[in-house]
Chain A
Amino acid sequence: MRRAIRLPLACGVVFLAGAGLAGLLVGPVDLGVGEIARSALAHVPFLHVHSPLSGADAAILWQLRAPRVVLGLLVGGMLALAGASYQGVFRNPLADPYLLGIAAGAGLGATLAIVYGSGVVESYDLVPLAAFAGGAVGVVAAYLLGRSASGGRSTAALILAGVTVTSFLTAAQTFVQQQHSQSLQEVYAWILGHLDTAGWHDVALVAPYIAVSAGVILLHRRVLDVLSLGDEEAASLGVNVRRTRFVVVVFATVGTAAAVAISGLIGFVGIIVPHAVRLVLGPSYRLILPLSLLCGAGFLVFADVIARTVLSPAELPIGVVTAFFGAPFFAIVLRTSRSFA
C-alpha cells in the first residue's frame, strides 16, 4: 500500500510544481526561470543573493503573480479534495459541496452584498463575508431539512434536501439579480469565478481555513475506504459512521465556503478532478484524497494561466476555462479507462 502511493504522489507533486512555475512565468512581462529563482533566493536571509529583477518586475512577480498562483493552488486543491470527500461519505459519484446548497447560498450572499452593500461599506471586503455566510446558511438549511426528512439515516434524503435548498436560493438570487440589472455584470463575474483580485491579503484570509480543513479530511482517508463498504458494515468494523460523515462534511464545507468566498463559484473542479484520479488510480481514498488535492491545485492554476492569456489583456472567467477544457479531458479519461463504478 505504502509503496503503491509513492509514484502517483511524485507525479502529483511534479504536476503541481509545473503548474506553479507556469503560473509565475506566463504573463505579459517576460520573466525567466533563472531570474525568478534568484529573486526568490534573495528573500532568504544570509545567502546574499541579489535579485536581478527591477522593482517593477519584482512587484509583478511577488505582488501579482505569486499570490494569484498560491490562491489558485489553495482553491483548486480545496474544491477537488472537498468533492472527493463528499463523494466518499455519501457514496454518490455526483456529490460535492456545491450540490448541498453551498454554491447557491454563497451566490445569494454575494449578490446581496454587491447589490445592497456598495456605498454602505467597502464592498470589496463585504462580498467574501456575505458569500461565506450565505454558503453556511445554505448547507445548514439543507442539512436540517435532510435530517428532519429521514432522521439522518438516508444520505439520499440529504442530497435531495440540497437540491431543494439550491433551487430555492437560486430563485431568490435570480430575483435579486433581475431587480438590479445595473450590477448584473459584477454579479455574473463573481458567479463564474475568478482569481484576479488576489493579493496576499486574500491568501492569508483563506489559507487557515483550507489548511485545517484539508488536514482533517486527509486524516480520514482510510476511514473513507471503510465507509465504501456501507454504513452497516463500517459500523460493524467499529467505525462511528454518523460522526465520521458529520466531521468530514463540516470540514469539507468550511474549506469550500472559504474558497468560494474569495474566488466565486468555480465549477467542475470538485467533480472532474476526483473522478479523473479515481479512474486512473482505482477506488481507494488513500490515493484519491491526496491526489485530488495535488491535481486540483495544479489544474486550477493551469486553468488560470489559460484564462489570462487566451484573450490577453482581457481575462476569461476561470469557471469557463475549467469547464471548457475540463469536460473534454474528462471525456477522454472516461473513454480510455477500464471501468466506471
Chain B
Amino acid sequence: MTAISLDAVTVSLDGNTVVEGVTLDVTEGEWLTLIGPNGAGKSTLLRAIAGLVSFDGSIELDGEHVDRLGRRDVARRLAFVPQSPLLPPDMPVREYVLLGRTPHIGPFGSESRKDVEAARRALERLELERFADRRLHTLSGGEQQRVVLARALAQEAPLLLLDEPTSALDIGRQQQALELVAELRTQAPLTVLSAMHELTLALQYADRLALLSQGTLVATGAPADIATESLLAEHYGADVQVIANGDGPVAVVPRRRRERG
C-alpha cells in the first residue's frame, strides 16, 4: 500500500520555485528520509505534504487527494514535527501533549476521557510520565524533543513527518531520538517521512533515501545506492568517503583537502 503518493509536486514561495516536479511514493510502514544540500527543498516538500503551503500537482494520502480531505482529516492521518517547534514556556508537559489531540476534538469541544488516555499513553511510550507536570521551559533540549514527539504520537496518526528531528541535539541525543522513532515503528504500524542533514544518521536509520537537489528529485533508493561518493560530490559539492561494513554503508566522512600544515 502507498501511504503518500506525490505526483509532479511543484511549490513556489513568493514567486521562486522551491520544489519542482517531484514524483515520489512512500510505502506504508517504511521510513523514507529526504536528504539534500541546504535549500534543496526538503522542508518545503514536507510542509506541502502537511498542507501548510500550497502546491501544484497532486498529493495523495492513502489514495485520497489532500485537496479533498479537510484540514482535520489530514491532521488525523498525519502528524508533523517541525524543525524548531514553538514551545509555550509556562505550559505544563501534560497540557502540551494533550494539544496533540486537537484533530480528534470538535472545533469548540474539549478533551474526552479517551483523549486524556491517548495523551497518557504517549507520555508513557516516551517515558515522560515523571515530567508530566513540569513546565516546558524547565526541560533540556533532548527532553523537549521527546515531548514534541509525544505530542505527535498523541495525535495517533499513522504517518509521521519529521523535519530535521536531530538538528538541535548532541550526538547522544541524536541517536536516542532516532532509536526512539525506530522503536515506535516496532510497537505500532507507523510510516515515517523525515528530512535530515546528518547523512550518517540518515543512511543508518532510513529504509530508503531520496536525494533532492535544487528542488528536484535526483535519486531514490536504498541507502547504499544513494549515499555514494559520486552522488554526494555532485550534489553537495563535497569530497567525502563512504565507509561500509558487512551490512553496507555506515558512515559518510568528509575528506580534508589540504594536508595539515
Residues of B participating in the A interface, judged by any CB pair closer than 8 Å: 47, 50-52, 70-76, 78-80, 82, 85-86, 88-92, 95, 98-100, 102-103, 105, 107-111, 137, 155
- B88 near A237 with CB under 8 A, answer no
20 CB-based A-B contacts, threshold 8 Å: A222-B108, A229-B86, A232-B52, A233-B80, A233-B86, A236-B51, A236-B79, A236-B82, A237-B99, A238-B74, A238-B75, A238-B102, A238-B103, A283-B88, A284-B91, A286-B110, A339-B137, A341-B88, A341-B89, A341-B90
Return the chain B residue nearest A216 by Cβ: B108
Instruction: Report the bound CA distance from A169 to B46 in whole Å.
Output: 44
Residues of A participating in the B interface, judged by any CB pair closer than 8 Å: 1-2, 219-220, 222-223, 225-226, 228-230, 232-233, 235-240, 282-284, 286, 339, 341
Return the chain A residue nearest B109 by Cβ: A222
- B71 near A235 with CB under 8 A, answer yes
Instruction: Report the bound CA distance from A18 to B97 in whole Å.
Output: 38
Contact partners of B103 in chain A: CB under 8 A: 237-238
Instruction: Report the bound CA distance from A341 to B70 in whole Å.
Output: 34
Contact of A236 among B80, B88, B91, B137 (CB under 8 A): B80
Q: A239-B102, A284-B91 are contacts. A230–B85 as well, Cβ < 8 Å? A: yes
Instruction: Report the bound CA distance from A239 to B155 in whole Å.
Output: 14
What is the CB-to-nearest-CB distance from B165 to chain A, in angstroms, rounded to a whole number? 15
Q: A222-B109, A223-B107, A232-B52 are contacts. A237–B100 as well, Cβ < 8 Å? A: yes
Instruction: Report the bound CA distance from A259 to B47 in whole Å.
Output: 42
Contact partners of A284 in chain B: CB under 8 A: 91, 95
- A226 near B99 with CB under 8 A, answer yes
What is the CB-to-nearest-CB distance from A149 to chain B, in angstroms, rounded to a whole number? 14
- A240 near B88 with CB under 8 A, answer no
Instruction: Report the bound CA distance from A229 to B155 in whole Å.
Output: 15
Return the chain A residue nearest B90 by Cβ: A283
Contact partners of B108 in chain A: CB under 8 A: 219-220, 222-223
What is the CB-to-nearest-CB distance from A315 to chain B, in angstroms, rounded to a whole number? 40
- B111 near A238 with CB under 8 A, answer no
Instruction: Report the bound CA distance from A233 to B124 in whole Å.
Output: 23
Contact partners of B78 in chain A: CB under 8 A: 236
What is the CB-to-nearest-CB distance from A247 to chain B, in angstroms, rounded to a whole number? 11
- A237 near B155 with CB under 8 A, answer yes
Contact partners of A230 in chain B: CB under 8 A: 85-86
Contact partners of A232 in chain B: CB under 8 A: 47, 52, 82
Closest 7 CB pairs of A and B: A238-B75, A238-B72, A230-B86, A236-B80, A238-B103, A237-B102, A219-B108
- A233 near B85 with CB under 8 A, answer yes
Q: A226-B102, A282-B90 are contacts. A239–B71 as well, Cβ < 8 Å? A: yes
Which of B70, B73, B86, B102 has the largest count of A CB atoms less than 10 A from its CB? Answer: B102
Return the chain B residue nearest A2 by Cβ: B110
Given contact pairs A230-B85, A237-B99, A238-B72, a sample of 13 additional A-B residue pairs in the complex whose CB atoms are under 8 Å apart: A2-B110, A226-B102, A228-B88, A229-B85, A229-B86, A236-B80, A237-B75, A238-B70, A238-B71, A238-B76, A283-B90, A339-B89, A339-B137
Instruction: Report the bound CA distance from A232 to B47 in whole Å.
Output: 9
Contact of A339 among B79, B90, B99, B105 (CB under 8 A): B90
Q: A222-B108, A229-B85, A232-B52 are contacts. A240–B71 as well, Cβ < 8 Å? A: yes
Return the chain B residue nearest A232 by Cβ: B52
Instruction: Report the bound CA distance from A223 to B71 in whole Å.
Output: 14
Return the chain A residue nearest B79 by Cβ: A236
Instruction: Report the bound CA distance from A235 to B71 in whole Å.
Output: 8
Contact partners of A225 in chain B: CB under 8 A: 95, 99
Instruction: Report the bound CA distance from A232 to B86 in whole Å.
Output: 9
Q: A1-B110, A219-B108, A222-B108 are contacts. A236–B86 as well, Cβ < 8 Å? A: no
Instruction: Report the bound CA distance from A125 to B52 in whole Å.
Output: 48
What is the CB-to-nearest-CB distance from B244 to chain A, in angstroms, rounded to a whole number? 37
Instruction: Report the bound CA distance from A2 to B88 in whole Å.
Output: 21
Instruction: Report the bound CA distance from A222 to B115 in whole Å.
Output: 14
Contact partners of B111 in chain A: CB under 8 A: 1
Q: A1-B111, A222-B105, A238-B102 are contacts. A229–B88 as well, Cβ < 8 Å? A: yes
